[in-house]
Structure 1
């Protein structure tokens, strides 16, 4: 369910596959939401300098690339100059409604997948459309990442694939097709779905085959995951679900704490 929701989100979406199509760019988009949600008193507020510093601190990319990525997100309609009051010299940015709506949908799908294992997480999925709750989640996820938590540390076999354009989506698309008993997609189909070249898909598949993640028979079909590939994805999903479950509980606690003063005053 988790894999299918991600694949469906990216399939055929030219803009997302252009702007948010690898781990670094996906994390960068998430950091924009995190800095915007974080109070200024705690070092928040989305500006070029803060984003560049955060990207360098976490090792996501260099300061120069961070500035280029912000320009790309603005070009894609995901960020816009902020209209809030304050020091205009800082030139703050803010996520657009497109960015927020898209990301709320993404995280709701993931939390609803986890709720199958832990029904309490459904409480968060149900109220994630509340912007204050969504900000709580972004802050919890961001603080966990800044403290050093990396999901792919627990699934190193697929880390290289995840760092490539649409690499993770292509791997998940193969997994979803196999689990659903569908015909395995061709290289050309994967290229069309995720808006990359056939040469790029072919090289990615060759590299995945070289590390034992998948096997190919030399036809136009993309291939199938090996036992090692399935184990690597199992590690990824286990680490991802554990991480997201923990942040869900932290966000629910933050939501309850925010509601407590209102209950007392009532």
Structure 2
């Protein structure tokens, strides 16, 4: 039986496992920085999952796995994730940086499907395994071993993952503080950076320390405008979600336990999607 988001967020090991999970995803970002940035922003992450979902779609009429551009553009528009033009620019960028390539279909020169390159597949495997390892950490399961014994099972997992991660696209709902950062470039990196660098959560605590102590350094790392990030942080401060132990933006930052719950609930929801996909494919084999 798959673990639910509520079970994960209320688990006694939640904060420790989520902290380790965030660190693992940040390590993957360091290994595949440009590729990981695709999954680090809400809109681009959704488009990437739609593309992988199409690639692994068992109902495809292509002679081998591939992504038909017209179908990709249709789905991005259908889910309300982005305009067709934005989706087309995204695909061109992925081709430019060597994450997608086209191949020929014998007997139809007009059809030029796309497929992930080896670099993309390696990054994708790292990303999925990071989620499965965290789930195993919660319940001592063997999801990671099962998948690593035969990586082709990812082709069965991804369509399930993609449908739920994309959800209702542009209409996705976010909690109060996360709404401020949801569409900021590399917003997911921001959440992971907080979680990976947070201190222990003491019982009855109202604040949790982080190791973030410079807005300038955080903005440079996220590749966003310092002015824009500082404005968003100030809005979060006005909500009581973050604060500074000393001078604003130049001293250790703390987050409220309310904001921490928003962050852990978001991660728990995503982990639950991966576990539901695993359970759908393997029927409780974890």
TM-score, structure 1 length as denominator?
0.80
Distance 1:51 1:72 in 2: 15
Higher-RCO chain (CA-CA 8 Å, sequence separation at least 6): 2
Query: Aligned residues, how many?
Result: 253
Distance 1:73 1:237 in 2: 26
Query: What do you get for the CA RMSD once the two structures are aligned?
Result: 3.1
Distance 2:210 2:188 in 1: 19
In the alignment, structure 2 segments of 5+ residues that lack a partner are: 1-19, 201-208
TM-score, structure 2 length as denominator?
0.75
* Correspondence for 1:140: 160
User: Contact between 1:2 and 1:110, CA under 8 Å: does it hold in 2?
Assistant: yes
1:56 to 1:129, Cα distance in 2 relative to 1, 3 A? farther
| 1:52 to 2:82 alignment | no
Q: CA deviation at 1:56?
A: 1.1
Distance 2:150 2:175 in 1: 32
Distance 1:136 1:90 in 2: 25
Distance 2:115 2:224 in 1: 29
Distance 1:89 1:156 in 2: 48
Matching of residues 197-236 of structure 1 within 5 Å: 197-216=225-244, 217-221=247-251, 223-236=253-266
Q: 2:139 aligns with which of 106, 114, 118?
A: 118
User: Contact between 1:32 and 1:95, CA under 8 Å: does it hold in 2?
Assistant: no
* Correspondence for 2:10: none
Q: 1:39 aligns with which of 58, 67, 82?
A: 58
* Correspondence for 2:205: none
In the alignment, structure 1 segments of 5+ residues that lack a partner are: 256-266
Distance 2:250 2:78 in 1: 43
Q: CA deviation at 1:176?
A: 1.8
User: Contact between 2:102 and 2:113, CA under 8 Å: does it hold in 1?
Assistant: yes
1:224 to 1:128, Cα distance in 2 relative to 1, 3 A? same
Distance 1:170 1:145 in 2: 19
Q: 2:193 aligns with which of 173, 176, 193?
A: 173
User: Contact between 1:11 and 1:194, CA under 8 Å: does it hold in 2?
Assistant: no
| 1:189 to 2:189 alignment | no
Q: 2:95 aligns with which of 70, 74, 85?
A: 74
Q: Which has the higher helix share?
A: 1
User: Contact between 1:155 and 1:232, CA under 8 Å: does it hold in 2?
Assistant: yes
1:98 to 1:141, Cα distance in 2 relative to 1, 3 A? same
